[in-house]
Structure 1
C-alpha cells in the first residue's frame, strides 16, 4: 500500500505538483502521529480522546457515515470526523468554525438573514437562506434533517462529534445532500452515571460565555441529561458619525434635485445610528433536555427537546475601500440592526435489536422556527447631500418568518458482518412555511422620496418529501466488498397566495419608508400587487450508488465509486417552475495507516458532472418588478483531490493536515443579479441586466486550500499538562460570485493562524486563545449594486480565555 499515496497524488489535477511534493516530504520526515476520533451516536461518548493515548498509535476513529458504527479507516467514503475534544480545542461554536477543519469545506454568514450557507467541493447555494432555495449540503442533528439554513447556525453545544460526509449522500441521507452532508451528534444521557461539567469564559468585545451539562440517573433503566449554553459579545462594527453638510450646501443640493423650496428640511443626524447594538454582535442562548429510557434489554429510546434563542445582530455590509478618515470596521448606518430568532426542536430515536441478526430504528423529528430581523443593505456607501439627493436609504426587514417541519424515518438493517450486509428504509418529511420581508428604498435619506420599495408576502408554502431506499454490501471475500444502493424520491412543493407588492408611484400616497406597520395590500398606502407566485411542483427521481472497496491488508484500503445526486426543482417567483439539479460523481480513494499506527493518510480523488445546475439571484424583471429568479445552467463540472493526514510526533506531538485541490467550470448560463452592476440584458429579455458567465469558475472554490494544526503536550512535575497549539490555514484566491467582476469580487490568497494554550490538572483546566492572529480582512461575499464595492468579512482578531472543570 505504500505506493498508493504517490499514485493518487500524481493524478493530473490542478496544482498537483506542490501537493505531491508536500506529501512525499511529509512521509519522508515524520516519525510518528495522531488523529481525531468520533464515537457512535447511539451510545454515550465512547471514544477515548486521542490526547490521552500514550501507546504511540492513533486512537481508533468510529463513524456512522453508513448508518452503522464502523472504523473510519474501514469506511469507504470521504468523511471527516471531529470529536468533542477537537471541537473544544478549536473553539467551535457554529458550522462557520468547522470550515478550517474539513478539506474543501466553505461556509458564509449572510448578513441580510443572519444564517449560514455551506459550500462543499466548490458547490453551494448563497441563496439557500430563504424559503425558496434549498441547500446542496444537508445538515442533520442526531440523524434528523434540519430543513432550513437557520438551523445550521444553532450553537454547537454539548456535542459528541461532527461528521462531514463529502460527495453525494442521497442513498442513505436523503434530500439536499447533493454534494455532502453534515451530521452533528449530541451527547446522550448515560445510565448509572452522575457527572457533568461547567465552564465559562471572557474575551475582547466584552465576550462572556458559559456552558455546562449534567447527567442524572433516574433509575437503573433511565437517565436525564441537561445542557445549556450562553454566548455573547459586542459587535465588531463601529458606527460612523454623520458628516453633516452645511445647511447652504443641503439647500442647494435639494433645489438641484427638483425639491420644492417650501418643502426643504435639513437632514436629521438622529436618523443615523450612533449607539445601541452593533453589527456582528452575538447574543445566543440554548438549552437541551435529553432522556434515555432502556425500555427493555433490546429496546432503547433517546428523546431530546432543544430550545434556541438568538438576540444578536446580522453581519454588516462594509465598504471595501473606506472613506478617508474612516476605519474599515465601521459603517454609516441609518438602520438599527436586530435579529430575533427562536427555534424549538424535538428529536427522537427508538432502537430495537430484534435479534442477533436484525435491528430496527425509528428516527423522528419536529421543529418550529419563528423570527424577524432588520439590516442596512446600502452600507452607507454614499453620504447624502440633502434629504432627497446624493445617498440612498435601503433597508431589509423580515417582519415575520415561520417554519414548521416534521420527519419520520424507519430503518431495518442486518447486524454483524455476513456474506451480504443490508439495510432498507422509508422516509417522510413535510415543511410548512410563511414569510413576509420588506425592502424599503428612498432617495437621499429615509425622509426623502421613494426610489423603489417592495414587500414580499408568502403566506402558505408546503414542501413534502417521501422516499424508500436500500443499500447492500456483498462481501465477496475477506478483502473484496461490493456495495450497491438506490433511493426513490417523490417531491412536492406548493405555493399558495404569494404576492409581491411594489411602490406604485402614486403622488397622493404618503412617501414613507416601508416598515412592518404599513400594510402594502391596502391601496391607500401606495402599493400595487404584482404577478402571483402561486404554483405547484411535483416530481420523482431515483438515485443510486455503486462502490467497490479492497482491503489490501489490515492497514490499507482502496475504493472506487459511482454515485448520483439530486436536488428537487420547484416553484419560484411568478409561479414559474425550475428544474431539478442532478449530478454523477466518480470517486477513487485510499485510507492508509503507516508506522505501526502512528500515521494515517486518507485521500479522495473525484470528478462531478452536474446537469441543470441551479443558480439563484434577486433580479429586476423587464416589466419593472423584482423577485428571486432561479435558472438552470446547462451544467457544471468539478474535479479535485482531498487529503487528510493525521500523525503523532514522538509521544506528545499531534499533527493534522487537511488539504484540497479544486478545478471548477460552469456550463452555459446567462445570469442576472441586482446585487451587481451588470450591463443591460439583450440575451434574456425577461430581466433588465445580465452577464454571460458560461465557463466561469464557481464561487467559493479555491484551487488550493490547506489547514495545518500542531499541538504538543508538556507534562509538568505536579501531574499537570501544558498544551500549546497552532492552527494555520492557507487559501488560494477565490471568486466571490459567479460573475467574477475583478479584484473587488474576489478574495485574494491569504494565510491566517489561530493560537491556543491549555493548562489542565486533574479535572480543572484553563484555555487561552487568539483567533485570526494577523487580523486578516477575509471577504466572504462582495457586491456593488449601490455603486462602491461592499463586502462581508470573517471576524477580526479575537482573544479570549475559558476555564472549567468536570465532575
Structure 2
C-alpha cells in the first residue's frame, strides 16, 4: 500500500484522538450537534439567491453582483468530494484544468484561454489563484489540498482592476472557514476506497475568550498509483537480437553489452499516486466591534508521484493503464504559508483593511519523459531514454495590500488600494537524453540552473460605483501596475559531445562547468531584466429590470506580465479586452436562480510557451507572442433550482463556438516530435505555423447536470442519492491542431453518490462511484517519432474509482 509515515500523519492521529474526546464530551453534556453552524441538519429551505460573494471586495449578494461568477459553498464542495482545484472545473462554465507530469502541477484554462506550460519560475498563469484574497503566483499552488473551505468563487472575465496582474481571463478566490468566537464545534471525516485510498479531514473551532477564537483544520488523502509497470522481461529482445541490432548500427563488437533489465522499473511506487497532507491553524482576534484580525498558518506536503504520459494506443497485450518505465517516479513538495487580514471600521462611512501573505515552496521531482513508447533493440539503439528531473525548486513570495473603502449606502460607493508583491525563486532542472538506454550514448543532456530570479510588482487602483437611482448603477475602475523581473546568474548547460568524457547521465550532485571535465558547456546565459507598466480598466452599467432580475453590460481589460525566457530573451506582456452582457434572475421566491452571460474577447500578444530546441542544438523553455488578435466569443448559463424541499437541480452550460489564434508562424514544442524544420531566422529548430488554429481545452459546447433527492424516513433519517454527469464536445489539446491524437473526442462522464444521514443529523455515510463509465479522458497530448510514424501520448483523468466516507459533527 502506498503509505509513507510522516510527522504530519502522527499529528493528524493526535488531532483525531482529541476529536473523539471532544465528541464524547459533547454527547455527555447533551449538546445538539445539528444546531452547530456546520452541523448535519437538513439543508435550509431559504432561498438560493441569498448567497454572498466577495468578488467586488465587499460582501454582496450573488444575484446583485454584476459579474459572471460561480460561487460554490462548503456543502457542495463536500458533496462533490473536492480535493484540488481540478475537481471543481465541471461546476464552472468554460473552466478546464490540465496536469503536467514533469513538474506535477495543475494548470487552469478559462473561456478557452490558458497556458499548459505555466509551470516553472518563468511563466505566469492566465487564471489567477487566490486564497483569502492573497495571490498564489506559481502553478504548483493549484495542486494543494483544498481543506476546510467556506466557499470557492470563480470570477470569469478579466479582473485586472480589483484583482490585478495575471487575472487575464479570470480569478479563483478560495475563502477558508474562519474561527467563530464563542463557538465550540467541529467535524471529522474518514474515507476508504479502491487503489488503496485512505482519506481523513476535519476541523475544530476552539473558543479561547470573549474576543479570541482559533480553528484547526487538517486533511490527508492518499491512494496507490493508477499506472502499472510493464514487464521488461516480456518486452526486451533476446541477446542475439540485441547483438544483431547493435552491429547493424555500426557498433564495435568489442564494446557490446547486454541491456540491463534492472534499468527498467518493475516495482515500488507507481505513477499517478497521491499522498498529500495539509494542516491549517487559524486565529480570529476581535477586541471590539471596530477591529478584526484573522491570521492563519498553513502547511502542505505532497509525497505522491507525478501523473504519467500514457500511450494512447497500448502495445498488443498491454493494459491501457500501464507504462514501460525506465525512470522511477518521485515527487516531494512542501509549502509553508502565512496569511493575515486586519479590518478597521474607522467610522460609519469608512473602513480600512490590510492583507498580507508570505509563502515558501520547496519541491523536487523525477519523471519518465520518454513515456516508454519505444522498446530498445540494443543498449544503444531503438529507443530514447529521457529523464526530466527537478533537482530543486524554491519559490518564496510575499504580498501586501491596503484597501480604503466606503461603507453603507451612498450615492457613490468606492474603494482605493495599494498593492505590492515580490518573489525570489531558484531552480535546477536536469534533462539527460540517451540513445537506447541509460547505458547508451548521449543524444543530448543539459542542466538549467537559475540561482536567483526575482519579481517585483507594484500597483495602485481604484473603483467607484455611482448609484444613479435605486435601479441603475454605473461603475468605473482603473489600475496601474508596474512589473519588474530579473534573472541573475542563470545558466543553461548543454552537452558538448566530447569523446573523452564518460557518457553517463548527469548526476544531481554534478556541478556543470567548462573546467570540471563533465562534458558540459554554456548553452545559454539567462541574465536579464524586464520592466513594464500597464493600465487596466473597467466600465460597467447594471440595471434592475425587476426586483428579481439584473441586467449588466461591461467592457474590461486584463493583463499578464511579460518576462525573460531561457537565454535572457524578453517576451512581451499580453492584453485582453472583454465585452460582456449578462443577466441574473431569480424565480419562485428565490428557489430558482438562472444566470447567463455572452462575451467577446480580443486578445493581443497572447503568450504561448513550450520546451523547444534552438538552431544551435541547445534546449530551453521558449515563449512566443501571438501577433494580431486572438478572438474568442461564447455563451455561459448557470441554473440552480430547489424543485421542492427534497429535490435540487443544477445545470451548467458553456458554448465557445469561436476561438481562433492570431498569427504565429513559428510555434515549436519538443513535446511534439516531427514538426517541420524551421527557417533559420526563427531561432527554433522545428516549428509549425499555427496561425488561425483553434485554442486548446475549448470545446464548442459543454454542460454539467447535477440532481439529488432526499428520501426522508419517519425516524428522521435521510437518504440522498446524487448524480452528476458531464458532457462536452471534442476539443484540441494543443495549439498545433495535429489530428485525432491531439484532441479529446466528445465524451460524457458520470459520478454517483449516496448519503445516509442519521436521525439526529450527527453523522453520515457516503458511498460513491466516480467516472461510472470508466471513460479515458485526455487532459494533454504529445507525440514521439516511432519508425516512419508517430505515437501519441496523453495524461488522463482518473479511471473509475469507488469508495466510502464516514463523517460526523459535534
| TM-score, normalisation: structure 1 | 0.93
Alpha-carbon distance in structure 1 between the residues aligned to 2:778 and 2:407: 48
Judged with a 3 Å threshold, the aligned counterparts in structure 2 of structure 1 residues 259 and 518 are, in CA distance, closer, same or farther, namely: farther
Query: What SS is found at the alignment partner of 2:444?
Result: coil
Equivalent pair of 1:303/1:347 in contact (CA under 8 Å): yes
Tell me, yes or no, if structure 1 residue 650 matches structure 2 residue 644: yes
> 1:393-412 deviations in whole A, cap 9, x for unaligned?
00100001000000000001
> 1:431-473 deviations in whole A, cap 9, x for unaligned?
0000000111110011111111111111110001000000000
Alpha-carbon distance in structure 2 between the residues aligned to 1:414 and 1:388: 71
More off after superposition, 408-417 vs 249-258: 249-258
Equivalent pair of 2:741/2:792 in contact (CA under 8 Å): yes
Equivalent pair of 1:257/1:388 in contact (CA under 8 Å): no
More off after superposition, 596-605 vs 534-543: 596-605
> 1:540-589 deviations in whole A, cap 9, x for unaligned?
11110000000112100100000011111111111111111001100000
Match 2:249 to one of 246, 257, 263? 257
Equivalent pair of 2:127/2:166 in contact (CA under 8 Å): yes
Corresponding residue for residue 632 of structure 2: 638
Query: What SS is found at the alignment partner of 1:173?
Result: coil
Tell me, yes or no, if structure 1 residue 272 matches structure 2 residue 264: yes
Tell me, yes or no, if structure 1 residue 753 matches structure 2 residue 747: no
Alpha-carbon distance in structure 1 between the residues aligned to 2:222 and 2:613: 38
Query: What SS is found at the alignment partner of 1:213?
Result: strand
Corresponding residue for residue 25 of structure 1: none
Corresponding residue for residue 692 of structure 1: 689
> Where does the alignment leave 5 or more consecutive residues of structure 2 unmatched?
1-35
Corresponding residue for residue 53 of structure 1: 44
Corresponding residue for residue 290 of structure 1: 282
Corresponding residue for residue 41 of structure 1: none
Corresponding residue for residue 519 of structure 1: 511
Alpha-carbon distance in structure 2 between the residues aligned to 1:49 and 1:576: 57
Corresponding residue for residue 148 of structure 2: 158
Tell me, yes or no, if structure 1 residue 667 matches structure 2 residue 657: no
Alpha-carbon distance in structure 2 between the residues aligned to 1:390 and 1:571: 37
Q: Which runs of 4+ in 1 moved over 4 A?
A: 45-51
Corresponding residue for residue 569 of structure 2: 576
Judged with a 3 Å threshold, the aligned counterparts in structure 2 of structure 1 residues 685 and 473 are, in CA distance, closer, same or farther, namely: closer
Q: How does 1:9-88 map to 2 (within 5 A)?
A: 52-54=43-45, 57-58=47-48, 60-88=50-78
Shift in Å, 1:618: 1.2
Between the two proteins, the alignment pairs up a number of residues equal to: 762
Alpha-carbon distance in structure 1 between the residues aligned to 2:39 and 2:364: 43
Shift in Å, 1:628: 1.3
CA RMSD in angstroms, aligned pairs only: 1.3
Corresponding residue for residue 405 of structure 2: 413
Shift in Å, 1:717: 1.5
More off after superposition, 737-746 vs 642-651: 642-651
Equivalent pair of 2:49/2:586 in contact (CA under 8 Å): no
Alpha-carbon distance in structure 2 between the residues aligned to 1:77 and 1:93: 26
More off after superposition, 74-83 vs 670-679: 670-679
> 1:324-360 deviations in whole A, cap 9, x for unaligned?
0000000000101010000000000001111111111
Corresponding residue for residue 14 of structure 1: none
Alpha-carbon distance in structure 1 between the residues aligned to 2:48 and 2:413: 28
Corresponding residue for residue 5 of structure 2: none
More off after superposition, 510-519 vs 411-420: 510-519
Corresponding residue for residue 805 of structure 2: 802
Judged with a 3 Å threshold, the aligned counterparts in structure 2 of structure 1 residues 59 and 589 are, in CA distance, closer, same or farther, namely: closer
Shift in Å, 1:391: 1.1
Query: What SS is found at the alignment partner of 1:781?
Result: coil
Query: What SS is found at the alignment partner of 1:675?
Result: coil
Alpha-carbon distance in structure 1 between the residues aligned to 2:110 and 2:38: 27
Shift in Å, 1:256: 1.6
Shift in Å, 1:681: 1.1
Equivalent pair of 2:165/2:558 in contact (CA under 8 Å): no
Q: How does 1:218-367 map to 2 (within 5 A)?
A: 218-242=208-232, 243-367=235-359
Tell me, yes or no, if structure 1 residue 174 matches structure 2 residue 174: no
More off after superposition, 520-529 vs 699-708: 520-529
Equivalent pair of 1:295/1:301 in contact (CA under 8 Å): no
Query: What SS is found at the alignment partner of 2:391?
Result: strand
Equivalent pair of 2:494/2:618 in contact (CA under 8 Å): yes
Equivalent pair of 1:590/1:602 in contact (CA under 8 Å): yes
Corresponding residue for residue 715 of structure 1: 712
Alpha-carbon distance in structure 1 between the residues aligned to 2:607 and 2:414: 34
Shift in Å, 1:297: 2.4
Corresponding residue for residue 19 of structure 2: none
Shift in Å, 1:245: 1.4
Query: What SS is found at the alignment partner of 1:574?
Result: coil
Corresponding residue for residue 5 of structure 1: none
Match 1:422 to one of 409, 414, 426? 414
Corresponding residue for residue 40 of structure 1: none
Judged with a 3 Å threshold, the aligned counterparts in structure 2 of structure 1 residues 473 and 311 are, in CA distance, closer, same or farther, namely: same
Alpha-carbon distance in structure 2 between the residues aligned to 1:435 and 1:781: 24
Query: What SS is found at the alignment partner of 2:346?
Result: strand
Alpha-carbon distance in structure 1 between the residues aligned to 2:61 and 2:40: 15
Tell me, yes or no, if structure 1 residue 703 matches structure 2 residue 726: no
Equivalent pair of 2:38/2:809 in contact (CA under 8 Å): no
Q: How does 1:498-509 map to 2 (within 5 A)?
A: 498-509=490-501
Corresponding residue for residue 16 of structure 2: none
Tell me, yes or no, if structure 1 residue 553 matches structure 2 residue 552: no
Alpha-carbon distance in structure 2 between the residues aligned to 1:119 and 1:146: 16
Shift in Å, 1:195: 0.8
Corresponding residue for residue 530 of structure 2: 537
Query: What SS is found at the alignment partner of 1:509?
Result: coil
Match 1:191 to one of 178, 181, 185? 181
Alpha-carbon distance in structure 2 between the residues aligned to 1:696 and 1:239: 37
Corresponding residue for residue 6 of structure 1: none
Equivalent pair of 1:657/1:706 in contact (CA under 8 Å): yes
Equivalent pair of 1:397/1:515 in contact (CA under 8 Å): no
More off after superposition, 78-87 vs 263-272: 263-272
Corresponding residue for residue 103 of structure 2: 113
Match 2:446 to one of 438, 454, 460? 454
> 1:209-231 deviations in whole A, cap 9, x for unaligned?
01111111111100111111111
Equivalent pair of 1:436/1:458 in contact (CA under 8 Å): yes
Query: What SS is found at the alignment partner of 2:517?
Result: helix
Corresponding residue for residue 29 of structure 1: none
Query: What SS is found at the alignment partner of 2:550?
Result: strand
Corresponding residue for residue 26 of structure 1: none
Query: What SS is found at the alignment partner of 1:424?
Result: strand
Query: What SS is found at the alignment partner of 1:524?
Result: coil
> Where does the alignment leave 5 or more consecutive residues of structure 1 unmatched?
1-44
Query: What SS is found at the alignment partner of 1:355?
Result: coil
Alpha-carbon distance in structure 2 between the residues aligned to 1:624 and 1:644: 50
Shift in Å, 1:306: 0.4
Judged with a 3 Å threshold, the aligned counterparts in structure 2 of structure 1 residues 432 and 467 are, in CA distance, closer, same or farther, namely: same
Shift in Å, 1:300: 0.6
Judged with a 3 Å threshold, the aligned counterparts in structure 2 of structure 1 residues 684 and 695 are, in CA distance, closer, same or farther, namely: farther
Query: What SS is found at the alignment partner of 1:790?
Result: strand
Equivalent pair of 1:560/1:589 in contact (CA under 8 Å): yes
Corresponding residue for residue 34 of structure 1: none
Shift in Å, 1:53: 2.4
Shift in Å, 1:785: 3.5
Shift in Å, 1:59: 5.4
Shift in Å, 1:683: 7.5
Equivalent pair of 1:678/1:690 in contact (CA under 8 Å): yes
Q: How does 1:598-613 map to 2 (within 5 A)?
A: 598-613=591-606
